[in-house]
Each structure stands twice: as C-alpha cells, then as structure tokens.
Amino acid sequence: MAKVRRKEVMNSLQAAARLSRTALAARLLAHGFYAGQEQVMLLLEGEDGLTPGQLAARLGVRPPTVTKTVNRLQAQGYVEKRGSERDARQANIFLTDAGRGAIRAIEKAVRKTDRLAFQGFDKKERKLLFDLLGRIEANLTETAATDEAEDDEVRAEGDGEAEPALEMAAGA
C-alpha cells in the first residue's frame, strides 16, 4: 500500500469539498438559488425570525456576507425583513410563503448531491468519514480560536517590532 502524505490528504479533502459545493450549486441554480442562499433558507426554516447577526454567527460568516445574501433572497421574494419588537434598530428575517415553498427544492438538491457524493459508501464508511471530518473541524475550530486569542494578545501588548520599523522608514 502506498504511503499517503498529509499534503495529498488535505488536497483531496479540499477538492472533495469544492466539487461537492459545485455540484450542489449547479442543482440550486436550476431552482434560482445562488451558493450559500440555501444555508440561510434552511436555518430560517428551523428557526424563523433570526437577526442577520444570529444568522452570521450560526453560519460562521461575517455579517456583511449575510446581509448581501438576505438582500438577494428578499429581492427574490423568499424572505422578508421585519423590525424587531424589542429593538427598533434590529431587523428579524422571516421566510415568506414562497420561501417555505422553496425549501423542498433545496432539500431535494441537497439529497441528490448527497446520494451522488456517497455512491458506493456503506453506513459504516459514512459514519467513519463523519467522525473523522468532525475531528478535523474541531481541530481547525480550536486552532482558529487559539490563533485569534494570540492575535488579540499581540495587539493588546503592542508588537514592539512595528514601531522601530516605522521609525526607520520615516527617517529614510
């Protein structure tokens, strides 16, 4: 059996993720959805009335990304924004009747892509892959949190190297 290098594993993981996303995006586009919109729709189906900030946090994206997606979905007639009853500065996002009707098409596209991706896998292999991907996700989530905390620490302390470099550049 040939030895598999980490780089090859990571490349395969990234290629599989990209191809699965592309396959799903093609199916969604046939129903008038752009990549990423389905995630917002499915979240709202489970928990209607989230704020853009809540959507961003649950999706792990920045608020401007959600705002753009919500604005597109609103223009398409799938969601509507309503002012919050508790905070006039806040908006809540709700599925419209058209949005609720579109959920089945989204779920069908996801199921078809899932079936294609896991063709030839048995339940045990799917479970193993799920567990392994969960471990990768946990590792990367933990690393991202650690990196962010370290970056915050460096900013709070001051780098110490940036100031002399700036002085040297100014004196040059």
Do 147 and 91 share a structural domain? Answer: no
Do 37 and 20 share a structural domain? Answer: yes
Distance of CA 159 to the CA centre of its chain: 32
The verdict on pTM exceeding 0.75 is no
For 136-171, write each residue's pLDDT tens digit: 989 988 776 676 666 666 666 655 444 433 333 344
Q: Is the pLDDT of residue 97 over 90?
A: yes
For residue 23, the model assigns a pLDDT of 95
The helix or strand, by DSSP H or E, that contains position 108, with its residue range, turns out to be helix 97-117
Contact predicate 59/66, CB 8 Å: yes
Least confident of 45-54, 91-100, 106-115, 145-154: 145-154
Do 98 and 160 share a structural domain? Answer: no
Helix (H, G, I), strand (E, B) or coil at 91: strand
For residue 57, the model assigns a pLDDT of 93
The residue out of 102, 119, 136 marking a domain boundary is 119
Please give the tally of structural domains in the chain. 2
For 42-76, write each residue's pLDDT tens digit: 999 999 999 999 999 999 899 999 999 999 999 99
Do 72 and 14 share a structural domain? Answer: yes
* Banded model confidence at residue 1, pLDDT cuts 50, 70, 90: low
The residue out of 103, 119, 135 marking a domain boundary is 119
CA distances to 44, 52, 115 from 112, in Å: 21, 29, 5
Q: Which residues contact 136 (CB under 8 A, 6 or more apart)?
A: 13
For residue 167, the model assigns a pLDDT of 36
User: What letter would DSSP give residue 3?
Assistant: P
Domain that holds residue 160: 121-172
Residue 36: which of 12, 11, 72, 10 has the closest Cα? 72
Cα separation, 92 vs 3, in Å, equals 52
Do 147 and 102 share a structural domain? Answer: no
Do 113 and 56 share a structural domain? Answer: yes
In sequence order, the β-bridge partners of residue 79 are 95
Least confident of 2-16, 61-75, 116-130: 2-16
Q: Is the pLDDT of residue 135 over 90?
A: yes
The residue out of 77, 102, 119 marking a domain boundary is 119
- Highest-confidence range of 3-12, 96-105, 147-156, by mean pLDDT? 96-105
